[in-house]
Structure 1
């Protein structure tokens, strides 16, 4: 069960947290361990600066 944890155009940190929660739930249902791809980083706030 891959979990993409790297920053990918996220504009808020809640989306980053949500991806981990989704991967954990799917892994639990499929009885598989999540595999983290990338490294978590704070979300970009580029849209707020405009």
Structure 2
């Protein structure tokens, strides 16, 4: 994650994220693999889609 990602909980944009896992999504409007990332500042989990 070289560009940084903003945490929706603490509001910080940073690159201190740890991969928490992945899962498949197939919900009609969304399909693919979603990666879970844990914020290195506040610990909040954020899910990001992968293409």
What TM-score range do you get, normalising by the shorter chain? under 0.3
TM-score calculated relative to the size of structure 1: 0.20
Structure exhibiting the larger radius of gyration computed from Cα positions: 1
Larger RCO (CA within 8 A; separation ≥ 6): 1
TM-score calculated relative to the size of structure 2: 0.20
